[in-house]
């Protein structure tokens, strides 16, 4: 027997809402950290994934409320300085941020929701990051998507305390606001919001793949995407990455579940093994994100 459902929503027929919000112009804005997860990147190093939503635009930019960015911070020797800059900004300044840094690096007091591959961060010491305001500079960005089309939007430059942001600050000509080596997910053109989730997923996967050398890249293509050694033989790293992206997006993706339920919180314990503290990379030229 088919079960029917009633939702109690009246006068909804014909109502249409577009998903996502268009990218704002470059500037400095206040965002809210809506989620922060811990997982290992493709090199096996622990990495934070930040989810930042912007709802505090000045009046003339209110139409951009709801805009979201994702950003990655590696917990490595190379990435530690960038992690600390973010912590200082989120905590409201260097004094408060230093206490959180000590809890993270010296004491290993990082509490996550569970032991899943990508677990939400609950606290660092006594500091609870989710819901905190943070200042973010958004810089103009142009890139080529996987279809070879040039796209334009914004990318995260750096973080600052929310109290340091006053309205929208023009950053177009301020090269000092760009942190070399930052990798942020590719943005969307204002007139093409339908591919938001796919573009963000593509950018994250591409960043993981670009961190791999040729041999592990071929192994990943074979083991995860059934791409034969014959298909990757003689190909460059970029060509193999394109093969993997094509294979990945030809499959049916599983839905991303970012819900933060009221589940028991895992006790804060020192990060060990794959989730160790700052680890030294073998290549000093590899970007921290």
Residue 176 inside a domain? The answer is: yes
* Buried b / exposed e along 160-186 (16+ C-beta atoms within 10 A): bbbeebeebbebeeeeebebeebbbbb
- Give the pLDDT mean for 148-153: 82
Rounded distance between C-alpha atoms, residue 197 and residue 182, angstroms: 21
Per-residue pLDDT, 17: 59
Number of domains in the chain: 1
Contact 138, 172 (CB under 8 A): no
Residue 245 inside a domain? The answer is: no
- Per residue in 56-92, pLDDT tens? 998 999 999 999 999 999 999 999 999 999 999 999 9
- Per residue in 213-265, pLDDT tens? 888 888 888 888 889 888 888 888 888 888 888 888 776 444 444 444 455 55
Residue 273 inside a domain? The answer is: no
Residue 53 inside a domain? The answer is: yes
The confidence band for 177, taking pLDDT boundaries of 50, 70 and 90, is very low
Domain ranges, residue 55: 27-190
Residue 83 inside a domain? The answer is: yes
Residue 124 inside a domain? The answer is: yes
Rounded distance between C-alpha atoms, residue 65 and residue 50, angstroms: 18
**What is the model's pTM?**
0.58
């Amino acid at each position: 027997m088919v079960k029917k459902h009633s939702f109690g929503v009246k006068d909804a027929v014909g109502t249409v809402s577009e998903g996502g919000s268009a990218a704002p112009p470059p500037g400095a804005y206040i965002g809210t950290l809506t989620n922060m997860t811990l997982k290992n990147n493709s090199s096996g190093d622990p990495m934070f994934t930040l989810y930042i939503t912007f709802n505090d635009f000045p009046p003339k930019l209110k139409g951009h409320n709801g805009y979201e960015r994702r950003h990655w911070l590696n917990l490595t020797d190379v990435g530690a300085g960038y992690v600390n800059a973010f912590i200082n900004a989120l905590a409201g300044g260097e004094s408060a941020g230093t206490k959180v840094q000590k809890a993270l690096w010296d004491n290993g007091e990082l509490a996550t929701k569970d032991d899943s591959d990508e677990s939400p961060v609950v606290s660092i010491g006594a500091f609870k990051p989710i819901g905190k305001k943070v200042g973010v500079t958004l810089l103009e960005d142009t890139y080529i998507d996987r279809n070879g089309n040039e796209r334009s939007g914004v990318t995260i430059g750096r973080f600052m305390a929310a109290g340091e942001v006053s309205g929208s600050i023009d950053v177009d000509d301020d090269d000092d606001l760009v942190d070399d080596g930052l990798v942020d997910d590719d943005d969307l053109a204002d007139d093409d919001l339908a591919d938001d989730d796919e573009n963000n997923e593509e950018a994250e996967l591409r960043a993981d793949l670009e961190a791999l050398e040729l041999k592990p890249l071929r192994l990943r293509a074979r083991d995860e995407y059934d791409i034969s050694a014959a298909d990757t033989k003689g190909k460059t790293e970029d060509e193999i990455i394109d093969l993997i992206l094509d294979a990945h997006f030809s499959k049916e993706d599983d839905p991303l579940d970012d819900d933060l339920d009221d589940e028991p919180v895992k006790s804060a314990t020192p990060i060990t093994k794959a989730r160790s503290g700052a680890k030294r990379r073998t290549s000093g030229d590899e970007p921290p994100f």
